[in-house]
């Protein structure tokens, strides 16, 4: 018999109050109608509360948590990214064609075509992009990830990150820094020039250094950066510093001339976001290992192309579930307002998908003001993310929560059930091509993506 | 006149909270109408009914909060809107007193905060109840399912799962239980003792447990089953589980079953289980005409069930003393009065009264309504919590020249209205006809029974000692009047 019941109260708070008045142990659950009260979603949720789904999720989360992302080298996109041709342009987010692209993505495509020498001017590039001769493919479908516009063309150098547990790899370009940069849709001559310098001088030197190092354990670097006040999406200052520390001896011991090495250091240390292009592929190769597990409700991709937000789920394989991209709540650089902002863009939400970024906001008090709110708000954001996730990552811990593991592995079911949406820390691009970054802030994925995915998961369950 | 409509997307609040807020805001100076509801189709129809449904509200989703206010002037409107914000944020705050940790939204998240929880009380709207109950049972929690409008086949599925897992699934539509001394949902504060109750009826369990307390006994546990448990389709799954549990409970010496008459096969199975429990067995199936197996005592009404449980004999009605009271009260009946009107909040109390009046041959003259019935609770809180509807009906009945006398129940305890006598007194003091009231509760209840009784008596009501006696007295008043005609 129950000696002293310990009670969860789901529904009216009146009963919790009455129990508390009796001195009983009671925890009130702030219940919300699952699926926003939509009976079809509620039925789908009920259909997915099954042991085989739990089993599939256990397998998926195990693969995600066991991933060991290591920076093993660099290469040229066209030579190492599968299926890449001279006329392939990889881009951030779900699939999109030229006529649907937003300003910053168009700008980056123009810049990419000029960089490749496929076009000489903006007009040329625009005509070529619209001609049908260029194949636009999501980075995510080629084991790659790209911040903001995320454009990768054939001759760009990319980092190679290998998941030592599963053997799969992920790729990302070198982060170009702030200001006028390709990923924010800028394509002026100085943008192209910087990309050329990266390919011709920086890449050979850094590639050699990485190879000399025998591989840099990105999981360890991320774990340390998290303890140093980064969340590894919108704040990467600690991660970038740690990277410099790790790479310095190898860069100095390499064959690159002194001027190149000096400029390489200046380039990395002058760009607080350098590490983002390492934390992203680290999460990508970890999540790819957990992708394509039948019945699993784990979200393995969240990405935006500036027009649409799209997610992919382990159990539904390579299907995208998309909805219009949201506008971002945030702060703007002087001279810019919300009217200048492009809707949400970039693959960088891969960090949140992998359990860092906005999900670890409680770890990064320094960026909280930038994205609006107090340190307590940041902790609350992180605490609420545990409602959505399948696990806590023992490798990534949160000092502010007494070293509790980061909330990891977003479950489509929990998102629809609770109505809580993942929180994403993100930069804001100007809506016109060629201008660049105008601010940073917070955004949520559209809930429709998760609702569609949930219904599709139920469909897949049918024999 | 100022009108304002505010939609808060994705902000669910339960109906009790919202009803409380609506009432508070409506009572503010200068506020003509205030409706704070979730955007369900039913609520939109309610808004349309009071002329407050604008286009924005028509588009609202079931988890959008609609605040519609009509006030005399702009200042009153502003004050009302501010008050809504305050009360909403307060109701959020109560659910999040633990500082940074936000209140959990799901059972899964709650179990991380309270990993050794062993019971879930579920009072979410019916269509969502099954899923929550399934999750709770699969997490190894006993379930008290207060929600109604759960399909019979879902009830069977839940109860079979509970049985297979060695857990209780009390309900759906289960309003009263007491486990380990904690009263769940609607329950009275009664003395601990050796009598264990398994009840298909909420107010039946409340009536018997409070009478046991008054007769000097005590209660070990109260296990509710929900009203349909003894239907042949469900087969008494939880009543049998409850008997099994109490049979193993060291505190329990007597097991008392309460219900409406079960199907004969179910009755036989349940009574057989009771006989085999190894404890003293007692059953009160109101209106049941079947036999009991040897060794099981049957009580015909709730009062006798309580008396037998504490070892007293079933009491014959003391008609002489009551008769004198009845004769005196009959004099208050207006010349045109012929009918007895009963306004109940407890379904089983209403049933018991109906049976008693039928036995007195007064079925034709007595019109008893249970305002706790589903048809009266759509979109509003239970009449034990909210007296608005009953007060309205009470005044209506008193104004009807054919009304000879009125009969009311007042249920106290945790979860019930904090001061029912104060809510009823103004209406009672205006009524010319005799009003017989029964107060189900104890002095240990938050409302304090003796004080409630004194207030009701001061307002002119006659207060009976049990629900059965209240019905009997009302019947005798009617008969005394007929005798003098």
Residue B37: pLDDT band with limits 50, 70, 90: confident
Interface contact flag, B95 A30, Cβ < 8 Å = yes
pLDDT at position B325 over 60: yes
Interface contact flag, B106 A15, Cβ < 8 Å = no
B48 Rama sector, left if φ>0, alpha if ψ -120 to 50, beta otherwise: alpha
Closest approach of chain B CAs to the CA of A162, in angstroms?
34
B212 upstream amide cis, omega within 30 of 0: no
Residue B116: C-alpha distances to residues A7, A388, B98, B143 (Å): 9, 21, 18, 15
Residues A183 and A150: beta-carbon distance below 8 Å = yes
A-contacting residues in B 183-222 (Cβ below 8 Å): 183-185, 189, 221
Give the residue carrying structure tokens 């897992």: B165
Contact list in A for residue B130 (CB cut-off 8 A) is: 46
Q: Calculate mean pLDDT across residues B311-319.
A: 73
Of A18, A36, A417, the CB nearest to B414: A18
Helices and strands, number each (H, E), in chain A = 17, 17
Residues A102 and A327: beta-carbon distance below 8 Å = no
Instruction: List phi, psi (to 5°) of B395.
Output: -65, -40
Give the residue carrying structure tokens 């999460």: A283
Q: Residue B55, Cα to own-chain centre: how many angstroms?
A: 37
Interface contact flag, B102 A42, Cβ < 8 Å = no
Please name the residues in contact with A32: beta carbons below 8 A apart, sequence gap of 6 or more.
A418, A419, B10, B12, B63, B105
* Partner residues linked to B178 by β-bridges: B183, B222
Task: Give the integer Cα–Cα distance in Å for A113 and B473.
Answer: 96
Task: Give the integer Cα–Cα distance in Å for B58 and B76.
Answer: 25
Of A4, A21, A417, the CB nearest to B106: A417
What pLDDT score does A62 carry?
Answer: 98
Q: Calculate mean pLDDT across residues A338-353.
A: 96
Q: Calculate mean pLDDT across residues B308-330.
A: 83
SS3 B426: helix
- What DSSP assignment string belongs to B208-261? HHHHHHHTT--EEEEEE--TTTTSTTTTTHHHHHHHHHHHT-TT-SEEEEEESP
Closest approach of chain A CAs to the CA of B27, in angstroms?
21
Q: Calculate mean pLDDT across residues B54-59.
A: 76
Interface contact flag, A32 B415, Cβ < 8 Å = no
Interface contact flag, B117 A383, Cβ < 8 Å = no
Task: Give the integer Cα–Cα distance in Å for A353 and A313.
Answer: 11
Interface contact flag, A3 B180, Cβ < 8 Å = yes
From B366, B376, B463, select the one nearest B420 (Cα to Cα).
B463
pLDDT at position B95 over 70: no
Interface contact flag, B414 A22, Cβ < 8 Å = yes
What pLDDT score does A440 carry?
Answer: 86
pLDDT at position A262 over 60: yes
Interface contact flag, B132 A15, Cβ < 8 Å = no
- Taking only the tens place, the pLDDT of each residue in A284-315 is 999 999 999 999 999 999 999 999 999 999 99
Contact list in A for residue B127 (CB cut-off 8 A) is: 39, 42
Chain B interface test: which of A31, A42, A418, A420 (most B C-beta within 10 Å): A31
Interface contact flag, A37 B40, Cβ < 8 Å = yes
More confident residue, A450 or B52: A450
Q: Calculate mean pLDDT across residues A418-439.
A: 89
Residue B415: pLDDT band with limits 50, 70, 90: confident
Task: Give the integer Cα–Cα distance in Å for B400 and B334.
Answer: 10
Q: What is the mean pLDDT of chain B?
A: 90
Contact list in A for residue B120 (CB cut-off 8 A) is: 7-10
Residues A432 and A439: beta-carbon distance below 8 Å = no
- What DSSP assignment string belongs to A363-401? G-HHHHTTTSS-HHHHHHHHHHHTTTEEEEEEEEEEGGG
Please name the residues in contact with B31: beta carbons below 8 A apart, sequence gap of 6 or more.
B25, B69, B70, B71, B72, B76, B77, B80
Cα-based angle B389, B475, B483 (whole degrees, multiple of 5) = 130
Task: Give the integer Cα–Cα distance in Å for A9 and A15.
Answer: 7
From A220, A218, A225, select the one nearest A398 (Cα to Cα).
A225
pLDDT at position B98 over 50: no
pLDDT at position A364 over 70: yes
Tokens representing B36 are: 């704070």
More confident residue, A455 or A180: A455
Please name the residues in contact with B138: beta carbons below 8 A apart, sequence gap of 6 or more.
A49, B161
Task: Give the integer Cα–Cα distance in Å for B479 and B485.
Answer: 10
Q: Calculate mean pLDDT across residues B436-460.
A: 97
* Partner residues linked to A439 by β-bridges: A332, A428
What pLDDT score does B303 carry?
Answer: 96
Task: Give the integer Cα–Cα distance in Å for A24 and B177.
Answer: 14
Task: Give the integer Cα–Cα distance in Å for B231 and A372.
Answer: 58
Residues B29 and B100: beta-carbon distance below 8 Å = no
- Taking only the tens place, the pLDDT of each residue in A7-31 is 999 998 889 999 999 999 999 998 9
- Taking only the tens place, the pLDDT of each residue in B127-139 is 889 989 999 999 9
Task: Give the integer Cα–Cα distance in Å for B189 and A24.
Answer: 13
Tell me, what's the ipTM?
Answer: 0.84
Closest approach of chain A CAs to the CA of B25, in angstroms?
19
Residue A443: C-alpha distances to residues A81, B44, B179 (Å): 30, 31, 46
Residue B99: pLDDT band with limits 50, 70, 90: very low
Q: Calculate mean pLDDT across residues A222-231.
A: 96
What pLDDT score does B379 carry?
Answer: 66
Residue A371: pLDDT band with limits 50, 70, 90: low
Residues B174 and B197: beta-carbon distance below 8 Å = no
What pLDDT score does B451 carry?
Answer: 97
pLDDT at position A92 over 80: yes
Closest chain B residue to A37, measured at CA:
B62
Closest approach of chain B CAs to the CA of A262, in angstroms?
46
Instruction: List phi, psi (to 5°) of A75.
Output: -160, 180
Contact list in B for residue A11 (CB cut-off 8 A) is: 14, 121-124, 146-147
Residue B262, Cβ density class (10 Å: 0-12 exposed, 13-18 middle, ≥19 buried): buried
- Taking only the tens place, the pLDDT of each residue in B173-223 is 999 999 999 999 999 999 999 999 999 999 999 999 999 999 999 999 999
Residue B100: pLDDT band with limits 50, 70, 90: low
Residue A169: C-alpha distances to residues A160, A283, B76, B86, B123 (Å): 7, 11, 65, 53, 49
What does DSSP say about strands A308-313 and A299-305: parallel, antiparallel, or unpaired? antiparallel
Gyration radius of chain B over CA positions: 24
Residue A165: C-alpha distances to residues A219, A287, A352 (Å): 12, 12, 21
Tokens representing A52 are: 């085989």
* Partner residues linked to B368 by β-bridges: B342
B173 Rama sector, left if φ>0, alpha if ψ -120 to 50, beta otherwise: left
Please name the residues in contact with B454: beta carbons below 8 A apart, sequence gap of 6 or more.
none
Chain B interface test: which of A12, A42, A52 (most B C-beta within 10 Å): A12
Of the given ranges (A101-110, B29-38, B275-284), which has the lowest mean pLDDT? B29-38
Does B289 contact chain A (CB < 8 Å)?
no
Residue A448: pLDDT band with limits 50, 70, 90: very high
Of A4, A9, A32, the CB nearest to B121: A9
Chain A interface test: which of B44, B110, B243 (most A C-beta within 10 Å): B110
Highest mean pLDDT among A207-211, A459-463, B114-118: A207-211
pLDDT at position B321 over 70: yes
The DSSP code for B448 is: -
Residues A394 and A414: beta-carbon distance below 8 Å = no
Of A5, A19, A45, the CB nearest to B131: A45
Contact list in B for residue A1 (CB cut-off 8 A) is: 179-180, 221, 245-246, 248-251
Q: Calculate mean pLDDT across residues A123-145.
A: 97
Of A2, A32, A383, the CB nearest to B102: A383
B-contacting residues in A 354-413 (Cβ below 8 Å): 376, 379-380, 383-384, 386-387
From B361, B397, B394, select the one nearest B472 (Cα to Cα).
B361
What pLDDT score does B316 carry?
Answer: 66
Task: Give the integer Cα–Cα distance in Å for B62 and B81.
Answer: 21
What pLDDT score does A201 carry?
Answer: 97
Closest chain B residue to A384, measured at CA:
B102
Of B16, B119, B251, the CB nearest to A7: B119
What pLDDT score does B64 carry?
Answer: 85
What pLDDT score does B318 carry?
Answer: 65
pLDDT at position B97 over 60: no
Give the residue carrying structure tokens 């005394």: B480
Interface contact flag, B245 A1, Cβ < 8 Å = yes
What pLDDT score does B96 carry?
Answer: 38
Tokens representing B337 are: 């009065």
pLDDT at position A370 over 70: no
Q: Calculate mean pLDDT across residues A278-284.
A: 98
More confident residue, A349 or A381: A349
Q: Calculate mean pLDDT across residues A35-48.
A: 88
Residues B344 and B369: beta-carbon distance below 8 Å = yes
């Amino acid at each position: 018999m129950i000696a002293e019941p310990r009670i969860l109260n789901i529904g009216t708070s009146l009963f919790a109050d009455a129990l508390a008045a009796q001195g009983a142990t009671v925890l009130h659950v702030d219940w919300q109608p699952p699926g926003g009260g939509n009976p079809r979603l509620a039925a789908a949720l009920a259909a997915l509360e099954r042991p085989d789904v739990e089993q599939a999720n256990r397998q998926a989360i195990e693969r995600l948590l066991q991933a060991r992302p290591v920076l093993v080298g660099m290469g040229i996109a066209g030579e190492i990214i599968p299926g890449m041709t001279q006329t392939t342009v990889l881009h951030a987010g779900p699939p999109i064609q030229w006529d649907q692209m937003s300003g910053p993505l168009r700008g980056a495509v123009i810049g990419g075509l000029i960089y490749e020498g496929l076009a000489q001017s903006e007009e040329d590039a625009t005509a070529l992009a619209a001609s049908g001769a260029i194949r636009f493919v999501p980075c995510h479908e080629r084991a790659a990830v790209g911040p903001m516009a995320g454009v990768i063309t054939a001759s760009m150098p990319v980092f190679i990150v290998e998941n030592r547990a599963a053997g799969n790899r992920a790729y990302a370009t070198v982060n170009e820094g702030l200001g006028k940069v390709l990923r924010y849709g800028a394509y002026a001559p100085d943008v192209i020039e910087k990309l050329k310098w990266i390919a011709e001088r920086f890449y050979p030197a850094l590639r050699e250094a990485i190879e000399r190092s025998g591989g840099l354990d990105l999981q360890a670097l991320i774990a340390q950066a998290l303890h140093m006040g980064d969340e590894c999406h919108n704040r990467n200052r600690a991660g970038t510093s740690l990277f410099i520390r790790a790479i310095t001896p190898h860069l100095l011991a390499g064959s690159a001339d002194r001027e190149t090495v000096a400029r390489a250091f200046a380039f990395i240390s002058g760009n607080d976001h350098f590490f983002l292009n390492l934390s992203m592929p680290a999460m990508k190769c970890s999540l790819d290992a957990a992708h394509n597990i039948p019945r699993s409700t784990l979200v393995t991709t969240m990405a935006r192309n500036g027009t649409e937000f799209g997610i992919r789920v382990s159990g539904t394989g390579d299907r995208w579930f998309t909805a219009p991209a949201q506008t971002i709540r945030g702060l703007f650089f002087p001279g810019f307002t919300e009217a200048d902002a492009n809707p949400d863009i970039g693959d960088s939400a891969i960090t949140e998908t992998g359990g860092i970024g906005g999900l670890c906001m409680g770890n990064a008090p320094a960026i909280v003001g930038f994205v609006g709110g107090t340190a307590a708000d940041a902790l609350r954001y992180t605490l609420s993310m545990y409602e959505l996730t399948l696990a806590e990552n023992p490798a990534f811990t949160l000092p502010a929560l007494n070293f509790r593991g980061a909330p990891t592995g977003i479950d489509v079911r929990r998102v629809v059930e609770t109505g809580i949406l993942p929180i994403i820390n993100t930069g804001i691009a100007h809506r016109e091509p060629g201008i660049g970054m105008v601010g940073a802030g917070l955004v949520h994925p559209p809930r429709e993506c998760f609702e569609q995915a949930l219904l599709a998961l139920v469909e897949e369950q049918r024999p | 006149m100022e009108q304002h409509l505010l939609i808060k997307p994705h902000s669910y609040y339960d109906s009790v909270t919202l009803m409380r807020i609506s009432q508070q805001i409506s009572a503010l100076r200068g506020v003509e109408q205030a409706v704070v509801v979730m955007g369900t189709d039913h609520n939109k129809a309610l808004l349309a009914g009071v002329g407050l449904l604008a286009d924005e509200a028509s588009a609202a989703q079931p988890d959008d909060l609609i605040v519609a206010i009509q006030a005399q002037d702009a200042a009153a409107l502003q004050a009302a809107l501010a008050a809504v914000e305050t009360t909403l944020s307060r109701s959020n705050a109560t659910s999040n007193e633990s500082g940074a940790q936000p209140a959990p939204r799901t059972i899964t998240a709650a179990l991380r905060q309270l990993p050794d929880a062993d019971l879930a009380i579920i009072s979410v709207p019916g269509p969502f109840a099954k899923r929550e109950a399934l999750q709770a049972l699969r997490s190894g929690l006993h379930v008290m399912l207060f929600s109604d409008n759960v399909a019979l086949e879902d009830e069977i599925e839940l109860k079979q799962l509970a049985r297979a897992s060695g857990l209780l699934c009390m309900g759906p539509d289960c309003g009263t239980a007491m486990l380990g001394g904690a009263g769940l949902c609607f329950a009275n504060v009664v003395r601990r003792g050796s009598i264990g109750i398994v009840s298909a009826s909420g107010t039946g369990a409340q009536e018997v447990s409070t009478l046991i307390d008054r007769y000097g006994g005590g209660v070990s546990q109260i296990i509710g089953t929900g009203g349909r448990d003894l239907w042949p389709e469900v087969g008494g799954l939880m009543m049998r589980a409850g008997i099994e549990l109490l049979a193993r409970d060291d505190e329990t010496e007597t097991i008392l079953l309460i219900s409406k008459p079960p199907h004969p096969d179910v009755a036989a199975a349940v009574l057989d289980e009771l006989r085999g429990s190894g404890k003293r067995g007692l059953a009160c199936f109101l209106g049941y005409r079947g036999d009991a197996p040897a060794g099981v005592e049957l009580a015909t009404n709730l009062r006798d069930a309580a008396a037998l449980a504490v070892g007293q004999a079933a009491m014959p009605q003391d008609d002489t003393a009551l008769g004198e009271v009845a004769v005196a009260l009959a004099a208050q009946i207006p010349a045109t009065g012929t009918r007895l009107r009963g306004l109940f909040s407890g379904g089983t109390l209403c049933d018991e009264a109906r049976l008693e009046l039928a036995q007195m041959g007064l079925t034709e003259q007595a019109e008893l309504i249970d305002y706790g019935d589903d048809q009266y609770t759509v979109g509003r809180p239970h009449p034990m919590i909210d007296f608005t509807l009953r007060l309205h009906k009470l005044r209506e009945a008193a104004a009807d020249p054919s009304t000879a006398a009125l009969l009311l129940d007042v249920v106290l305890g945790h979860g019930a209205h904090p001061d029912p006598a104060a809510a009823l007194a103004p209406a009672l003091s205006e009524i010319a006809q005799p009003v017989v009231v029964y107060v189900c509760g104890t002095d240990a209840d938050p409302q304090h029974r003796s004080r409630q009784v004194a207030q009701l008596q001061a307002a002119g009501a006659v207060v009976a000692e049990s629900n059965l006696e209240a019905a009997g007295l009302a019947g005798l008043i009617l008969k005394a009047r007929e005798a003098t005609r």
